Amino acid sequence: MKTVAIFTMGCRANQADSAILEGMLAREGWRLVDTKEPADAYILNTCTVTNNADQEARYLIRRLHRQNPEACILVTGCSAQVNPKALAGVEGVAFVVGNTQKKSILDLLKQSKPLVPEIMVEDIFQEEAIFSSDFSSYSKNTRALLKIQDGCNQMCSYCVIPFARGKNRSLLPQLVMDELHRLSEIGYYEAVLTGIHIGTYGRDLSPQTDLLALMKRIEDEVPIHRVRLSSIDPEEVTEEMIEFLSGSKIFCAHLHIPVQSGEDQILKLMRRRYTAQEFLDLGVKLKEKIPGVCLGTDIMPGFPYENEERFEKSYRLMQESPLDYLHVFPYSAKEKTRAANFQDQVSQAQKRERVSKMTALSKEKRNQFYESQKGSIQEIILEEKAMHFPEHFSDKIRGVSRNFISVYVVANEDLKGKLVSCKITGYEGDYVFGEII
């Protein structure tokens, strides 16, 4: 039996694609192993959202090649789609496969390792289908990822992802429901609806539909115990959706709503479709309407023309907002995007300073949220034994609550993937602990 290891970088959509590949390979008799083990083949599913991600992909290729020089290394994903020649030039690469050709990976691995790297990349904007199958049952996660949408039509000025993922396309509602039922049947309690821009779900379908209609159907049919949205833009969280979420028994009280900046002029330059005040008002409304909801965002300091005054406005908005955590990453100029040609670029030193300040704010907000949840009763799905944590966590297993708290509890490992109720008893730094009840 041949062995294969898959290394996944980047977003949940990429993780979902890797789960599809795992399923395809397992059905054909491949044995899946850890990326740190010797393997006959390595698949690197790349990200290209930042320049650091591209650099990391090249570093990982070199590491895998040193680990096993005879292995077939296949590079796919977003960096492969956008930068195929650069990746093909890294020693050890056998195949570079774009996002349009992921369905061909199994056939490629059956071939002999080529003498020179083969590049299989086509025009992503011609892609009409969504890479999907009955895949989630092969995911290593105890919470399944279900990709319901791919691509993005928005063309934000900083973002290269449309060039990596193509135009918006959606999975048919019935296929979504079928997969949710299947996931429940094989023992999953939670599915995460993911994609590149899930707020646009259904606009490309005939008849046209939308994300809220899909959510209502899930609520009515109850195909699985609980469902989480991965990420949704501010303007797509409508009054009707808030009302729906406030009374939902299926959908988790957790929303990740990317803002990118809290300053109006920067938002215009980014080609975002809301104002800073609208984002702030939305957060306040969500906290008022949905009990215990956890709110997160993406924030990108260092965008061109972000002077000190504009950064401070953005920082103050993040302070004032009822957010519970921030994903902070510096702006990275990407080829093909409009913002890469903007004149007033921010220095790396300023970016590091601003990222540090936002990161400290995120930690402060997360601790405030943990404090607010002390004493609450949470339903958690047990996921994994605590590893590489302080010694007094060594007997604990991590579980994830509906409102996205990672809780460490004392439990038997055979309970992995099971639902339990626990009481939040406290937190220590980044770690929340509780007691099963």
Q: How many CB atoms lie within 10 A of CB 431?
A: 18
Q: Under a CB-based contact definition with an 8 Å cutoff, are residues 226 and 252 in contact?
A: yes
Sequence letter at residue 66? R
pLDDT band at 23; cut points 50, 70, 90: confident
Q: Which two tokens stand for residue 136?
A: 């989630």
Q: What CA dihedral angle connects 369, 371, 377 and 381, to 10 degrees?
A: 50
pLDDT at 391: 66
Q: Under a CB-based contact definition with an 8 Å cutoff, are residues 408 and 395 in contact?
A: no
Give the span between the Cα atoms of 63 and 410, in whole angstroms.
Answer: 36
Q: Under a CB-based contact definition with an 8 Å cutoff, are residues 149 and 198 in contact?
A: yes
Q: Is residue 385 packed enough to be buried (19+ CB in 10 Å), middle (13-18) or exposed (0-12)?
A: middle
Region 285-292: what's the mean pLDDT?
A: 96
Q: Under a CB-based contact definition with an 8 Å cutoff, are residues 435 and 399 in contact?
A: no
Region 79-106: what's the mean pLDDT?
A: 94
pTM of the model: 0.93
pLDDT at 277: 98
Region 365-382: what's the mean pLDDT?
A: 96
Give pLDDT tens digits for 162-215: 999 999 999 999 999 999 999 999 889 999 999 999 999 999 999 999 999 999
Position with higher pLDDT, 418 vs 236: 236
Please determine, for residue 370, whether its predicted confidence score (pLDDT) is greater than 90: yes
Sequence letter at residue 95? F
At residue 329, what are phi and psi to the nearest 5 degrees?
-150, 140
Q: Under a CB-based contact definition with an 8 Å cutoff, are residues 266 and 226 in contact?
A: no
Give the span between the Cα atoms of 16 and 22, in whole angstroms.
Answer: 10
Provide the percentage of residues in the chain whose pLDDT is more than 90: 80
Please determine, for residue 374, whether its predicted confidence score (pLDDT) is greater than 70: yes
pLDDT at 389: 63
Give pLDDT tens digits for 27-86: 889 999 988 888 999 999 999 998 889 999 999 999 999 999 999 999 999 999 999 999
State the DSSP code for 338: G
pLDDT at 134: 56
Region 304-322: what's the mean pLDDT?
A: 98
Provide the percentage of residues in the chain whose pLDDT is more than 70: 95
List, in sequence order, every beta strand (DSSP E) within 98-220.
Answer: 118-120, 144-147, 149-150, 169-170, 190-194
Sequence letter at residue 274? Y
423 three-class SS? strand
Highest average pLDDT, of 175-179, 380-384, 409-413, 414-418, comes from: 175-179
pLDDT band at 417; cut points 50, 70, 90: confident
Q: Under a CB-based contact definition with an 8 Å cutoff, are residues 57 and 79 in contact?
A: yes
Give pLDDT tens digits for 135-175: 544 556 678 899 999 999 999 999 999 999 999 999 999 99
Give the span between the Cα atoms of 295 and 138, in whole angstroms.
Answer: 29
Q: Which two tokens stand for residue 419?
A: 């639902």
**Which helix (H) or strand (E) segment is 303 a member of?**
none
pLDDT at 141: 67
Nearby residues of 264 by Cβ (< 8 Å), 6 or more positions away:
275, 276
pLDDT at 384: 73
Please report the sign of the dihedral spanned by the C-alpha atoms of residue 328, residue 357, residue 398, residue 425.
negative
Give the span between the Cα atoms of 407 and 433, in whole angstroms.
Answer: 5
Averaged confidence pLDDT in the chain: 93
Q: How far apart are the first and last CA of the chain?
A: 44
Q: Which two tokens stand for residue 376?
A: 């609450």
Integer-rounded Cα radius of gyration of the chain? 22
Position with higher pLDDT, 132 vs 157: 157
Region 84-96: what's the mean pLDDT?
A: 96
Q: Under a CB-based contact definition with an 8 Å cutoff, are residues 296 and 269 in contact?
A: no
Position with higher pLDDT, 332 vs 385: 332
Q: Under a CB-based contact definition with an 8 Å cutoff, are residues 58 and 89 in contact?
A: no
pLDDT at 136: 47
